[in-house]
Structure 1
Amino acid sequence: DLHEDGSLSPAELFRLAEATKRPVRTTSPAPSQFLEAFRRAHESGAGEVLCLTLSARFSATYEAAITARGLAAEELPGLDVRVVDSGGLAMTHGFAVLAAARSLAGGASSGVAAGQAARVGERARLAGLLGTMRYLARGGRVPWIVHWAAQLLRIRPLLAFAEGRTRSIGRVRTEEKGLARLVEYAKAHTSGGALRAAVMQTAAPEAAQRLSEALRRELAPVELLQTDFTSVMAVHTGPGFVGLAFYEDD
């Protein structure tokens, strides 16, 4: 079955995945969906569109938007469409979008806003504690034997995403140690500037609240957001994920 993002909650997704035992896949928006959004902007009187997409390394979204931009050039004369790969995922992408929105609200041109989004996307980091590796194994991202070993040893992996790459940053046996490691990671990659941070979770609200409190206490961010993963991200992490994204503002 095909479900639009937002039409199926993570809880429903996990229930269906466990009931069917089938791997769950995600797909990027089609060029036609981007083109329809560009049409709406054109109809509203807009002369420019700034379209920010997820990292092209992990999603075909950027290529779909580029294709739609070409179609828009033929169909919608007078509409200037600028497509930017934010280089980010989840809230590292979200921070790039927010940075662009702030620039535009302050009167900046779309070119300046696009540059600001790209800079934030390059600078932002993400780190998270997984509750299970089962969904990574189902998606073919790790061997099943790795999931089984982690389950047997009661190990929870920590992963980080920065500069377009994902890597392991450790393993822990308890949630509390994992949360402490996430705060340590943020400390190690900040230098006392104006910190903007976000805490993300999938079926782990209490852990997310504890992580938020620790970040406020240890790093005093100027902005701290809390958000739930959508089903598209939950497909990859599974339940029990808690993580943070952050960058230091100019």
Structure 2
Amino acid sequence: MVAFDQPIVIAGLVLSLVAVIIFVVLSAVGKKQSRNTILLLGVNDAGKTSLYTLLRYGKVASTVTSMKENEGTWNVENKIMELVDIPGHARVRYRYTDFLPVSRCILFVIDSTTISRQVRPVAEYLYQLLAQHTVQTQRTPILIVCNKSDMITALPVSKIQPLLESEINRLRSTRTAAVEKQASETDEQEAFLGYEGEDFKFEHLDNNVEFEQCSVVQNDIDKVTQWVVSV
């Protein structure tokens, strides 16, 4: 029978544990570094493409509605990011799901001047995004960019956030009822957003969702840039 020196065994176990911890940490860092794509999402005419051109080229260019995504690099604070601007048209916006696995964060752009009358389609798009399995498992940070804040008709964040929360709460009730009705037909169910038995709040989500005002035409996007760098 072989006798083991207890201190040597303990030292070996400690070294093994340290090696595992280092591997896990390096794997996590590697995965985060590999996710260097910034998605720009939102409905038509919110200012996504204008924000894309401002971030990438440093100036606002005239844009037209496109059915194809724009892709390019963005050098910010010595970091190279990949920008992907997904068209806002309902027929093609689903393409954003292809980029979710490599997304570092998401900029969801809305028009602060029309959100009160466009809240339904905006909330529906946002709901679909928040319910994505990849967004939830990766806890993808999302910044809701309230564009056109320079306009006199623009709503402040203090009104936009509860407006969206209220609409998503209504959508959640409708979708939950539909899922329960069809439960016998499929085993796959849409993820429930927030806390059951409570009105929906963005703060109830596992991933970080924040709001910032900006004005692309006024080149007032410093807070957006700072947020991207911080996540």
Question: Greater Rg, structure 1 or structure 2?
Answer: 2
Same fold, TM exceeding 0.5?
A: no
Q: TM-score, normalised by structure 2?
A: 0.31
